[in-house]
Amino acid sequence: MRERSTLEVLLAFSKLGLTSFGGPIAHIGYFREELVVRRGWLEDTAYTDLVALCQFLPGPTSSQVGVSLGLIRAGYWGGLAAWIGFTLPSAILLTAFAFGVGALGGPIGSGVLHGLKLVAVAIVAQAVWGMARTLCPDRTRASIAGIAAVILLFHTASAVQIGAIALGGIAGLWLCRATASVARGSLGITISRRVGSLALGAFALLLIGLPLLRSPSQGLQMFDAFYRSGALVFGGGHVVLPLLSNAFVAPGWVSEDTFLAGYGAAQAVPGPLFTFAAYLGAVVRLSPHGVTGAALGLIAIFLPGILILFGTLPFWELFRQRTGAQAIMRGVNAAVVGLLGAALYNPLWTSSVKSSADFSVVLIGFVLLIAWRAPPLVVVVLGALVGPLLT
């Protein structure tokens, strides 16, 4: 029965991995329609609680929800099957794009890459707009976001990014208690506290230990860069952009044009945005790269989110009742909006928008996404077509 359930989870999430466009919020809607409404895997209230938990944690929200649903349906193997089914389609597509991006030479190829970079500006602007409306609805959290953005506009180092997020949490604990609410209800996922403690220990050990090793191994350096980026993402997949940019573009492992072209292409595929790591692992100038690098990037960037999910589930029922925890996360989420807002300017805007025509493409893409609710795939295709006309 468990084998049939695991296969059922794999097939269900493979379908979702092939058809779920639009980012984590859209993915959560797809999950609800397919698995809660149509298949009846769990009650709607339990699903809402599950989504609330995964939005609270660092990591890829929709993937964490998917893994949790797999756990509910078929245990640990079900969680693995959900991750594979939802992740693999877009990872394969972006790895294939990585092998083809080098062939985009000449004026037409350069124009396509330029169009994809402009699309990335529009899509991140949409993410900043949506997250600011949701996560910064009052002047206190808007101020936290603004201060974080100003700090990160002048200093983009990883330590400064981590510090800005930590300061946001401290400010939230001090200033956001009045807006904190206590979550109710049971999630219905059984993971022992021993397994949870081991997962939390592994999460912390890798986060702290990998940078201390200072290994000459390029593969270990890449693993550390992907792992740290995945461990510090709050509020959605777009937030991984400045973290990965600092980890891969700043040291010269990937060129800025190649990075932004891949990020634009990532908007055209279904599934989680974190599969952008497969593209980076394939094109990185270090070794391993290619398919091996893509696999390494994929595992490393998803691992911290899965570990923190497994580590939190056994203790969540008690922790989520504390208003202080909720207040901290409100401050963290506001700082994350500032982090993404700073990245919208640098590196996205400064490296992509060079003329009035470029700005026009960004503006049209933004209006299509916000006002017309056009699928990101449509905007990506338009950007790729218009790009050659601008060069």
What does each of the 391 residues of the chain score in pLDDT, given as a tens digit? 455 699 999 999 999 999 887 677 668 878 988 898 889 888 876 787 787 678 778 899 889 999 999 998 998 999 999 999 999 999 999 999 999 876 666 678 778 878 888 888 888 788 889 888 888 999 999 999 999 999 999 987 767 887 888 899 999 999 988 766 655 555 667 788 999 999 999 999 999 999 888 678 899 999 999 999 999 887 667 788 889 999 999 999 999 989 988 988 888 888 999 999 999 999 999 999 999 999 999 999 999 999 999 999 888 767 766 788 878 878 988 888 898 888 889 878 988 899 999 999 999 999 998 999 887 778 888 988 999 998 7
* Tokens read off for 82: 């959900």
Return d(Cα 54, Cα 68) in angstroms, integer.
9
pLDDT for the residue numbered 7: 94
Return d(Cα 234, Cα 58) in angstroms, integer.
5
Q: Smallest Cα–Cα separation from 380: which of 125, 129, 113? A: 113
Return d(Cα 282, Cα 268) in angstroms, integer.
18
User: Is residue 51 within 8 Å of 309, Cβ to Cβ?
Assistant: no
Tens of pLDDT, residues 182-214:
555 556 677 889 999 999 999 999 999 998 886
pLDDT for the residue numbered 211: 87
